[in-house]
Amino acid sequence: MLKKLFGLDKKEKKQEVEMPEADGKDVFHSPANGEVVALSEVPDPTFAEKMMGDGVAVKPSDGTIVAPVHGEIMQLFPTKHAVGIKTVNGMEVLIHIGIETVNMQGEGFKAFVEQGDKVAVGDKLIEFDPDLVNEKAESTITPVIITNGDAVASMDKQENQTATAGETVIMTVTSK
């Protein structure tokens, strides 16, 4: 009775995301509005030299990061500067917002998802303050990395283009 009276019985329900069937091919859309560039343009050798995996990077034109693919949030870093998603085909993608942003300890970042959430292309994941990142970190450039490269049969990247978050295809990955 009290729950009903105070509206406590109406917990905010997470939107149910319908996952597509696994078909061995994941089409990744841009996680941000901005310019899609090669990983070699990332000012950090960990990413530029593909030590964490292969992929592309986006130079965001604003502070919204969306899901580039259907999947499940496998990890949301406590500092909210990075998020890991596992696709329906088993690809593991890391979206790392900016360079040296871990040192900001979450300042200027707001997450809209948590570990275990299912997401669809275009769902808002994180908002960040680009001006604050430019002031306190090295760059806002955002690598989009496939971290389990041993499961990749082929990767087709669409670099050197202007992208719209959740719409522009940046890479297609086929799993083994």
Residues involved in catalysis: 96
Question: Could you give the CA distance from residue 16 to residue 8 in angstroms, rounded to a whole number?
Answer: 21
Decide if 41 contacts 48 (C-beta within 8 A).
yes
Nearest to 176 by CA among 118, 90, 57: 90
Quickly count helices (H) and strands (E) in the chain: 3, 14
Q: How many of the other CB atoms lie within 10 Å of CB of 54?
A: 15
* Cα-to-chain-centroid distance, residue 78: 15
Secondary structure (3-state) at 48: helix
Q: How far is CA 171 from CA 16, 114, 129, 135, in A?
A: 26, 25, 26, 30
